[in-house]
Structure 1
Amino acid sequence: MSETETQVCWLCERPLGRPVEWHHPIPKSRGGRHRVAVHPICHRTLHANFANAELARRGSDVASLRRDPAIAQFLEWIAGKLPDFHAPTAKRKP
């Protein structure tokens, strides 16, 4: 399946809308090349909650990311939203 044929978001598993962003599960700065399609709000949420070092450590283990309390709460909140839904994302806490 090519990148443009992806139908659901890698993180929240909701249908993708427009626009689609591409996330590197292992950050490019850490040698990652593989990309996955995500909603813009999901992409921002990942980077607001995890530093690149943590994303690199977890790699492509999306289940581990989904179990994180902040991400689990986000996923519960976003579950019923339309594919093109977007809202401001809080910045990463120090």
Structure 2
Amino acid sequence: MCERPLGRRVEWHHPLPKSRGGRKTVPVHPICHRTLHATFTNLELARIAAAGDDIRQASALRPFLDWIAGKPPDFHAPTKRRK
């Protein structure tokens, strides 16, 4: 998602949530995975996947992607929860 190289820790994300029938997974950094789920509900993720949209283009993720771009692959920080 963030286009940085993967580090030692990798998590697997379902672009179409398992609760919506998704089986395919993609590797992501733990901080990116947590940010996705803190930013979007499973319903929103399902709609994005169904539309074939690139999640990186979502305006809600732009500040995070700009901030994380220069961090090392194994960088981790607490993730803010959705309000």
Query: Normalization by structure 2: what TM-score?
Result: 0.92
Q: 2:58 aligns with which of 59, 68, 82?
A: 68
- Could you tell me how far 1:66 is from its partner in structure 2? 1.5
User: Which one has more relative contact order, counting CA pairs under 8 Å at least 6 apart?
Assistant: 2
For 2:49 and 2:59, the matched residues in 1 are separated by 18
In structure 2, stretches of 5+ residues that fail to align are none
Over the aligned positions, Cα root-mean-square deviation in angstroms equals: 1.3
Aligned to 2:8: 18
Aligned to 1:55: 45
CA deviations over 1:55-87 (Å, ceiling 9, x no partner): 011117462x22222211100000000000000
- Could you tell me how far 1:16 is from its partner in structure 2? 0.1
For 1:16 and 1:62, the matched residues in 2 are separated by 22
Q: 1:45 aligns with which of 16, 32, 35?
A: 35
The alignment covers a number of residue pairs equal to 82
Query: Normalization by structure 1: what TM-score?
Result: 0.82
Q: Closer, same or farther in 2 for the Cα pair 1:62/1:36, shift >3 Å? A: farther
- Structure 2: which amino acid aligns with 1:12? C
